[in-house]
């Protein structure tokens, strides 16, 4: 037994094996925690059947340890991923394991616990889970504000907008940095620092803001280092049923067009399907008409809205959890339309990137409010165009810039700490973006510094509420809540242990534009994410590094076996007086000191 422990603690050939920490140690991993519940339950595992275990709930996680097999840790679920908690069965329900709790998670799984029917045994568990999974409904702080973890790097320092724009060569003759939104008075969902055309005065900007939904005026996201074409993002123009026009907006777009002298037209990509854009006129929105914007060309990219995406992902969950729909796997997958949506998003981003890179025309991207589809398109196009964003820190900056600072409504889309699981504002837009990044990393295995684990970690902490990174809807709200002072950044965790997230095959290439193939033939379901709870999938090792770890673990097991045999043989020899005294007695101490 001591031999085994020695081996388990040993680091194998310089690889830190996934830490099997002591349970208490694991609990205290986070600064502030207290155990709220410690009770016996039956976990109804959809793969292995009912497992008797002890559940521990802290203010951050739920743990389940088996009471049967080596008290193995079976579940480790941050309360933040919980989207819904339901009671199943009643005190009089019949049938085995019919009384308990059913928990729906945001990360593609459900958890089911059965409890004893006597004495309202589930009541305390239900109440504590509800309070701490949905703190907002109980006037409690989100866990990130309680977390006292310390890291040796500060992730909040990763993104500095001035530095990032300077890296892009800004400001220059045509573009200036403006502090007009310093106190978020121009647009409360935009960052305080914006890049706008040199020739547009602050007064112009204010007038343009009146004509753009939620004042989200066109501002620069990225500039091409050589041909100086730009990607500009904004929200839809407030055209309305009457077809209103705004001279300032028209002039402003023309100023943007003129910052790049190479081509006569500005290209506008409206991310929505044509019909949706037209329908938006009824609620005061719309799109740029040919008559009003002579020097612009408008294209629709046919990407559907947040509700369509939410329903699509729901269907994906239906076919992969708990059991994979086996008999008609491909046609079931097709009927979820998930990959089709991925294809449309990627296709749109490719068009943006291609226009800027080869078309030599500046591009303006918007959808309705410019914080969902727009963020997907600009960030993916930037990822294709600029190799900097394909490094670990570059990607963090990209997410921080195009998503977090430009007001992707993380709080509404994810519902951090909120109990309204059926809220129509929830939607997996950011997950879809990460899926697109994964598709790209599959097609260009050497182009990204990060690995699959990096993307999965980001998604896990999108829900976990352990870090402040994805909290709130926009920069102004984050500033009010002093998020950077009171919480830890996800990038602190990642950057303090970068090796774990590195792609061994990464080769840095400057100025290479990546054009992924966005055809259904080349897109795949991200099995390692969507089906990761299925133990049958876990056995697969598509990731070479993980596979290598597993192979090493198997080898280690073999070594343990061999060493035990050796020890047995040695002790047998030792007890046998007839053996020559030289070799075994010399070997034994050696073997023992080794462990």
Partner 1 sequence: MMFFFLFSVSGNASNPEFKKKKNSECLLRLRHEGLLNSCPAGVASCPASSCPFRSPRSPRLKLLESALLLGPRPTAGGMEFSELIRTGRAQAELLRGPGAPPLRGTLCVTGHHLLLSPGPQATSDLWLLLLRSVDSIEKRVAGDSGTITLRCKDLRVLQLDIEGVEATLDIARSIEALSSLESVITSFPFFYRPKGLRLGDAWHFHPPEHYYKRVARETNAWRLSEVNEDFSVCPSYPRAVIVPRAVDDDALARSARFRQGGRFPMLSYHHAPSGTVLLRSSQPLTGPQKRRCAEDEELLRAVLAGARPGARGFIVDTRSAQAAKQARMTGGGTEAKAAYPGWKRLHRPMERGRPLQESFVRLVEACGDLEQSMDRWLSRLEGCRWLAHVKEALSTACLAAQGMEREGACILVHGAEGTDSTLLVTSLAQLILDPLSRTMTGFQELVEREWIQAGHPFQLRCAHSAFSHARPKHEAPTFLLFLDCVWQLGRQFPLSLEFGEGLLLALFEHAYASPFGTFLCNSEKERCLCEVRTRTHSLWSGLNQPKEQRKLRNPLYVLNPLAIWPSVEPQSLRLWQGLFLRWTRPPEPSEAAWEKVWQIVTDKEKTEGSQPTVSASEPQP
Residue 166, number of CB atoms within 10 A of its CB: 12
Residue nearer to partner 1 on the CB measure, 204 or 452: 452
Q: What is the radius of gyration, based on Cα positions, of the chain?
A: 28
| Cis omega (within 30 of 0) for bond into 246 | no
306-320 vs 338-354: helix axis angle to the nearest 10? Answer: 130
Selection from 324, 322, 414 nearest residue 112 by Cα: 322
Quote the least distance from Cβ 548 to partner 1, whole Å.
5
CA angle 318, 322, 326 (to 5 degrees): 75
What DSSP designation does 89 have?
S
Kindly report the backbone phi and psi dihedral angles of residue 227, in degrees, each rounded to the nearest multiple of 5, phi listed first: -85, 0
Locus of tokens 């690995």: 451
Cβ(289)–Cβ(243) below 8 Å: yes
Quote the least distance from Cβ 36 to partner 1, whole Å.
37
Selection from 437, 444, 414 nearest residue 427 by Cα: 414
Quote the least distance from Cβ 349 to partner 1, whole Å.
17
Residue nearer to partner 1 on the CB measure, 91 or 554: 554
Quote the least distance from Cβ 503 to partner 1, whole Å.
8
Residue 303, number of CB atoms within 10 A of its CB: 26
Residue nearer to partner 1 on the CB measure, 160 or 541: 541
Quote the least distance from Cβ 519 to partner 1, whole Å.
6
The residues with which 105 forms a beta bridge, in sequence order, are 82
Quote the least distance from Cβ 535 to partner 1, whole Å.
11
Q: Is 65 helix (H, G, I), strand (E, B) or coil?
A: strand
Between the two ends of the chain, the Cα-to-Cα distance in Å is 12
What DSSP designation does 264 have?
S
Residue nearer to partner 1 on the CB measure, 86 or 334: 334
Residue nearer to partner 1 on the CB measure, 145 or 444: 444
Locus of tokens 């684990």: 453
Quote the least distance from Cβ 459 to partner 1, whole Å.
19
User: Where do contacts with partner 1 occur on this chain (CB under 8 A)?
Assistant: 13, 15, 320, 324, 326, 328-331, 333-334, 339-340, 343, 443-446, 451, 499-500, 502-505, 507, 517, 519-522, 524-525, 527, 531, 536-537, 539-542, 544-545, 547-548, 551, 554
Residues sharing a CB contact under 8 Å with residue 409, sequence separation 6 or more, in sequence order: 371, 372, 425, 473, 474
- Calculate the dihedral angle through the C-alpha atoms of 168, 215, 250, 304, rounding to the nearest 10 degrees: 80
Quote the least distance from Cβ 111 to partner 1, whole Å.
22
Residue 309, number of CB atoms within 10 A of its CB: 23
Report d(CA 427, CA 305) in Å as an integer.
9
- Chain mean position to CA 324: 23
Cβ(133)–Cβ(78) below 8 Å: no
Residue nearer to partner 1 on the CB measure, 554 or 572: 554
Cβ(298)–Cβ(274) below 8 Å: no
Is residue 105 among the annotated active site residues?
A: no
CA angle 266, 267, 268 (to 5 degrees): 115
Catalytic one of 45, 367, 436, 474: 367
Quote the least distance from Cβ 343 to partner 1, whole Å.
8
Residue nearer to partner 1 on the CB measure, 267 or 528: 528
Locus of tokens 């929200």: 235
Cβ(389)–Cβ(401) below 8 Å: no
> What is the widest separation between alpha-carbon atoms in the chain?
107
What DSSP designation does 450 have?
B
Quote the least distance from Cβ 493 to partner 1, whole Å.
16
Cβ(372)–Cβ(379) below 8 Å: no
Residue nearer to partner 1 on the CB measure, 13 or 510: 13
Residue nearer to partner 1 on the CB measure, 131 or 556: 556
Residue nearer to partner 1 on the CB measure, 201 or 547: 547
Give catalytic residues, as residue numbers: 367
């Amino acid at each position: 037994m001591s031999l085994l422990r020695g081996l388990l603690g040993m680091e194998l050939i310089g690889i830190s094996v996934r830490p099997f920490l002591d349970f208490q140690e694991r609990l205290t991993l986070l600064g502030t925690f207290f155990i709220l519940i410690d009770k016996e339950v039956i976990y109804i595992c959809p793969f292995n059947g009912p497992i008797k275990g002890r559940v521990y709930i802290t203010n951050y996680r739920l743990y389940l340890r088996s009471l049967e097999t080596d008290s193995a840790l079976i579940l480790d679920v941050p309360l933040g991923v919980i989207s819904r908690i339901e009671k199943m069965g009643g005190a009089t329900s019949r049938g085995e394991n019919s009384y308990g709790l059913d928990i729906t998670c945001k990360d593609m799984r459900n958890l089911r616990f059965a409890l004893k029917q006597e004495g309202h045994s589930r009541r305390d568990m239900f109440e504590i889970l509800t309070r701490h999974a949905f703190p907002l409904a109980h006037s409690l702080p989100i866990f990130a504000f309680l977390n006292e973890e310390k890291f040796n790097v500060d992730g909040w320092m990763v993104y500095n907008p001035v530095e990032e724009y300077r890296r892009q060569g800004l400001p220059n003759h045509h573009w200036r940095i403006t502090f007009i939104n310093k106190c978020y008075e121009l647009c409360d969902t935009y960052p305080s620092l914006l890049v706008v055309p040199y020739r547009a005065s602050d007064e112009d900007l204010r007038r343009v803001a009146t004509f753009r939904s939620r004042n989200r005026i066109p501002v620069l996201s990225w500039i091409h280092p050589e041909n100086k074409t730009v990607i500009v993002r904004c929200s839809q123009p407030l055209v309305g049923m009457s077809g209103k026009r705004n001279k300032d907006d028209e002039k402003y777009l023309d100023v943007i067009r003129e910052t790049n002298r190479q081509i006569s037209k500005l290209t506008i990509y409206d991310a929505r399907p044509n019909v949706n854009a037209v329908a938006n006129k009824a609620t005061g929105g719309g799109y740029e008409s040919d008559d009003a914007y002579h020097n612009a060309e408008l294209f629709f990219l046919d990407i559907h809205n947040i509700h369509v995406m939410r329903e699509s992902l729901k269907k994906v969950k239906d076919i992969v959890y708990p059991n994979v729909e086996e008999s008609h796997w491909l046609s079931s997958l097709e009927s979820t339309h998930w990959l089709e949506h991925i294809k449309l998003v990627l296709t749109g981003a490719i068009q943006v990137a291609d226009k800027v890179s080869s078309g030599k025309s500046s591009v303006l991207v918007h959808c309705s409010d410019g914080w969902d589809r727009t963020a997907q398109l600009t960030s993916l196009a930037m990822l294709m165009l600029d190799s900097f964003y394909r490094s670990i820190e570059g990607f963090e900056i990209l997410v921080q810039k195009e998503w977090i600072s430009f007001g992707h409504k993380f709080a509404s889309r994810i519902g951090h700490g909120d109990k309204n699981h059926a809220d129509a504002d929830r939607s997996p837009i950011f997950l879809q973006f990460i899926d697109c990044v994964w598709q790209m990393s599959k097609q260009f295995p050497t182009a990204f510094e990060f690995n699959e684990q990096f993307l999965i970690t980001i998604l896990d902490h999108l829900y976990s509420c352990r870090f402040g990174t994805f909290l709130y809807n926009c920069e102004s709200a984050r500033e009010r809540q002093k998020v950077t002072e009171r919480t830890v950044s996800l990038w602190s965790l990642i950057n303090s242990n970068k090796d774990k997230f590195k792609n061994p095959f990464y080769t840095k290439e400057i100025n290479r534009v990546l054009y992924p193939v966005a055809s259904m033939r080349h897109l795949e379901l991200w099995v390692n994410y969507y089906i990761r709870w299925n133990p049958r999938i876990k056995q697969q090792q598509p990731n070479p590094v993980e596979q290598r770890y597993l192979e090493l673990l198997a080898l280690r097991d073999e070594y343990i076996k061999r060493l035990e045999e050796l020890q047995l043989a040695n002790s047998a020899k030792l007890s046998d007086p007839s053996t020559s005294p030289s070799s075994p007695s010399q070997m034994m101490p050696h073997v023992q000191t080794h462990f």
